[in-house]
Amino acid sequence: MEGIQNIAEFSDWEKIDLRVAEIINVEEIENADKLWKLKIDVGELGGRTICAGIKAFYTKKELMNKKIIYFSNLKPRKLKGVESQGMLLAASNEDHSKVVLIAPEKEIENGSKIG
């Protein structure tokens, strides 16, 4: 498969838990020009906090109540003093001048599994 650098086994894919989540709050992070602090509702998994480097592409208003795809079992990581408990999925062009969130096409319950 020309152009693909790292080939993943199906067993690698099985480790990833992707869920539908809804953004329920958007906050500034002190000294963070690119990051939003997002509170999300992941249905049966409950609430989570994630940091997302999408400030240049989305306003607070655009993000509120937006459904996203959430990588739920990514190891937590501190960003600008905030523990990010996972990651949202987004697509970007090669030079990262355009970023678009990946979202469900139709309405579906928060916490629904992707797979």
Domains and CATH numbers, the chain: 13-106 (2.40.50.140)
Residue 104 phi/psi, 5-degree rounding, is -65, 145
Per-position pLDDT tens, the chain of length 115: 566 678 888 888 889 999 999 999 999 999 999 999 999 999 999 999 999 999 999 999 999 999 999 999 999 999 999 999 999 999 999 999 999 999 999 999 999 999 8
> Who contacts 45 (Cβ-Cβ below 8 Å, separation ≥6)?
19, 72, 111
Q: How far from 44 is each of 12, 39, 78, 108, CA to CA, in Å?
A: 24, 15, 24, 13
**Structure token pair of residue 24:** 């329920």
Spatial distance between the Cα atoms of 33 and 12, rounded to a whole number of angstroms:
33
